[in-house]
Structure 1
Amino acid sequence: MRIPSAAPTRLGDDEAAAVRAAVERVIADGPWILGPEVESFEADFAAYTGLPHAVGVGNGTDALAVAMSALGLAPGAGVLVAADEGGYAATAARLVGLVPVVMDVARSGVVDVATASAAHRPGVEAVVVTHLHGDAVPLAELDAWRRRHGLALVEDCAQAHGLRIGGRHVGTTGDAATFSFYPTKNLGAVGDAGLVGFSDTSVAERARALRQYGWTDERFRPDLPSGRNTRLDPLQAAVLSARLPHLDARNLRRRELARRWRDALAGSAVLWGDPETTVAHHAVAVTDDRDGLAAHLSARGIDTAVHYPHLVGEMPGLSAEGAPTPVAASLARRILSVPCFPELTDDEADRVGAALQDWTPRG
C-alpha cells in the first residue's frame, strides 16, 4: 500500500467517536446556522490559545479578509505578504481592495525585520506574517519594527494550531490572528472552516458583523462595507470542539516524526525550520535534488507534495507588487514535503524513515 502525503480521514478510535457524536448532535438538534455550537467552539478556542476574542468564519482565506476589513485599512493600501505564503494572504488582500506587496524571506524560510524593511514602502498599512509549515516567525523584533512604522500586524496561523513559544500561543502578538481548519490542518474540520482572533473588543465586534453581510443593529441592512456571508458552520464548529482536546497529542506525534526525518536526512538534506519552534504541519526537506528525492520515495510507495511551487509574485491573478525575492525563489525550487501526519502507522513511519536514510542525492 502506498503511503499518502496526508490522510485527514484517519482518526484514532476515541477521536472518531467524538466527531461522529458531534455531527449526530448537530443534525438532530440544530440550529444549522451559527448558534450555541459556534459560540462554544469560539470560547473553547479562545481559552486554548489565549486570544481574548474569537470569531468563527467560513474558511481561512475569509479569516484573513475579515481581519483586514475589521482593522480598517484604507482602500488601496499596501499589505506586506511573504513571497512563499501560497497566495492566501495576497488573495484575501485583493478581495477587500488592498494591494499585496511581497517580501522575500530570510534563509530560515520565514520573514524577518530585514526582509520586511526591504519591501516596506509608502502606502503600506499592514504586514501579514505566515507561520509557514507550522514554524514560528520570530516576532519580537518584527513586532517592534512594525510598531515604529505604524503598521497593523496580522498573524496567519493557518498551519500553526497549538504552537506556543515561551508558553505563549502564536497569534497573540499581532492585532489579528487567522486560522484555517481545512481538513489537513493540525486541527481540521470535515470541510472548510476558519476563525479570526482579536485582542480589541470593538474590532472583534466589527468582524462579527462583517462575517454576516455587515449587519449590526438590524438584520437585512448592511451597515458596514466589505461585509460577506462567511459564517462558521455549526456542524464544523462541533467537530472542531470534539477534536480540540486531541490537538496537543497530535502535534507531539508530528514533532516526533519530523525529528525522525531530520535525523534520517542528516548528511543528504536538511529539514525546514527549527525543531524547537514548530508543530510540524509539513515536514519539508530542502535539497538541490528535489526531483531525485521525490522519485526515490515514489519508487518505495511514498507520496510527496510541494508546498508551494509558485511564489505570490508569479501568480498572475494577484497582481502583487514588490521587489524580486531571490531567497524565496531558491527555496521554492528545493522543497519537498514528506508524509508527517499523526495517524501515520509505526510500520509506515519505519518505511519513510528507512527510505529517507538510504537516499543519496545526485551530484
Structure 2
Amino acid sequence: MRDAVSRVITDGPWVLGPEVESFEAAFADYTGLGHTVGVGNGTDALVVAMTALDLSPGAGVLVAADEGGYAATAARLAGLVPVVMDLASSSTFVDADTAAAAHRPGVEAVVVTHLHGDAVPLEELDAWRRRLGLALVEDCAQAHGLRVAGRHVGTTGDAATFSFYPTKNLGAVGDGGLVGFADPVIAARARALRQYGWVDERFRPDLANGRNTRLDPLQAAVLSARLPHLDARNQRRRQLAARWRSALVGSAVLWGDPETTVAHHAVAITDDRGGLADHLAAHGVDTAVHYPHVVGDMPGLRAEGGPAPVAASLAGRVLSLPCFPELTDEEADRVAAALHEWTPRG
C-alpha cells in the first residue's frame, strides 16, 4: 500500500488518470458490475446514481426507515423526496409488501440498503418494482464482497453504490466512493456528472446537476492494493460474527445470515440493550448503536411517508459488537467470554 501511494505521488497524475481507471476496472471485474465510476464518497455515489437515472425533479424515492439517513440525504441533494418504507414484521428487511405500502403517486425509484453486510432479499421486491416501472438503486456501502448464490449484491438493480470510508470492508485512507451500472449509456452520464457535467469538452457543462466528485488517485491506488485481500478479511469478520452468535445463544439474536454475511457490523438484537452494553463495558469491550434513529425521526431530511413502527422498535434493540479483521485472537476470546457470561435483565 505504501508503494502504491509513493507511485502516485512520484508519477502522478493527482486527479483521475490511470490509477482510478485501473481500480474501476478491477472492481467491476470483482463485482460483476458492467461499468463503474469512481467518485468522492458514498453519499456522492448515491447522488450521482439518482441523477444519472434521470428521475423527475421532486420525484419520490422509497428508502428503508433503518438505513441511517444516508440514502435519504442523497435523495434531498439530488432534488428528490425521500419516502420511508417500514421493515417487514417477520424480518430485518424491507420487502415487496412494505414497499407497496409506502408507494404513492410520484415515486420513481427504490433504494435498498444492504445494511450491516447482509443482503436484502430482492427477488419479489425487484419483480414488484419492475411491474411499476421504478428504478432500483442498491446501496452496497456496507456490503463489499457480499454474494448470494454466487452473485455480488448490486448487480440486480439499475445502479449500485459503494463507499470506501476507512471503516468499510474495503476501506481507503480517507473518503472514496463508486457507482456501478449495467447500462453503458447511464454510466457515461454518471462519468460526466462526477466532473461538472462535462461531456465532449472541458469547461463546458452539457449535463445539468453535475458535481465535482472524483475518486482521488491516491485512494484508488490504496484500494487496488487492498482489493485482493477483501475476501480473506471478510472471512475473518464472518468467523468473529459466528463466535458472537454462538456465545449469545439463549440471550440475544445476531443480525444476518451466518453463511453469506460479510459482517460489516455484528449487530446483537436484544430487549436489554443497555444491560448488554453495560456488561461489555465492564469487561473493557466497546459497543455502538447502528442506528439509533429511524429516517422519519431525522427532521433535517424532511422525509415523507411512515410511520415505521417495526423499524422504530428495532432501533431501540440493536447493539453493534466489535467486528473487524484486526481484532486479535486474545481480544476475540475476551469478547466471546463476556458475551457468554451475560444474562439479560427481566
Q: Does 1:84 align with 2:83?
A: no
Q: Does 1:349 align with 2:332?
A: yes
CA distance in 1, matches of 2:62, 2:208: 22
Give the superposition deviation at 1:267: 0.3
In structure 1, the residue matched to 2:19 is 37
Q: Does 1:159 align with 2:142?
A: yes
Q: Deviations over 1:63-94 (max 9, x none)?
A: 00000000000000000000000000000000
Give the superposition deviation at 1:276: 2.2
3-state SS of 1:128 partner: strand
Q: Give the total of aligned pairs.
A: 345
TM-score, normalised relative to structure 1: 0.94
Matches within 5 A, 1:101-120: 101-106=83-88, 107-120=90-103
* Aligned 8 A contact 1:110 1:137 in 2: yes
3-state SS of 1:56 partner: strand
3-state SS of 2:203 partner: coil
3-state SS of 2:62 partner: strand
> Aligned letter for 1:271?
L
Q: Does 1:71 align with 2:53?
A: yes
In structure 2, the residue matched to 1:100 is 82
Q: Deviations over 1:175-218 (max 9, x none)?
A: 00000000000000000000000000000000000000001111
* Aligned 8 A contact 2:26 2:224 in 1: yes
* Aligned 8 A contact 1:77 1:123 in 2: yes
CA distance in 1, matches of 2:227, 2:322: 22
Q: Does 1:57 align with 2:39?
A: yes
Counterpart pick for 1:271 among 251, 254, 272: 254
CA distance in 1, matches of 2:254, 2:151: 24
3-state SS of 1:275 partner: coil
3-state SS of 1:224 partner: coil
* Aligned 8 A contact 1:108 1:273 in 2: no
Matches within 5 A, 1:1-363: 19-106=1-88, 107-363=90-346
3-state SS of 2:304 partner: coil
CA distance in 1, matches of 2:291, 2:271: 16
CA distance in 2, matches of 1:114, 1:333: 23
* Aligned 8 A contact 2:69 2:295 in 1: yes
CA distance in 1, matches of 2:220, 2:42: 14
Q: Deviations over 1:116-137 (max 9, x none)?
A: 1110111000000000000000
* Aligned 8 A contact 2:296 2:306 in 1: no
CA distance in 1, matches of 2:66, 2:193: 28
CA distance in 2, matches of 1:323, 1:34: 41
> Aligned letter for 2:45?
A
Runs of 5+ in structure 1 lacking a partner? 1-18
CA distance in 1, matches of 2:252, 2:91: 14
3-state SS of 1:171 partner: coil
Select between 90-99 and 272-281 the one with higher mean Cα deviation: 272-281
CA distance in 2, matches of 1:323, 1:345: 43
* Aligned 8 A contact 1:284 1:335 in 2: yes
CA distance in 1, matches of 2:180, 2:288: 30
* Aligned 8 A contact 1:171 1:178 in 2: yes
CA distance in 2, matches of 1:135, 1:288: 22
3-state SS of 1:197 partner: strand
* Aligned 8 A contact 2:160 2:179 in 1: yes
Give the superposition deviation at 1:277: 2.8
In structure 2, the residue matched to 1:5 is none
Structure 1: 4+ residue segments shifted above 3 A: none
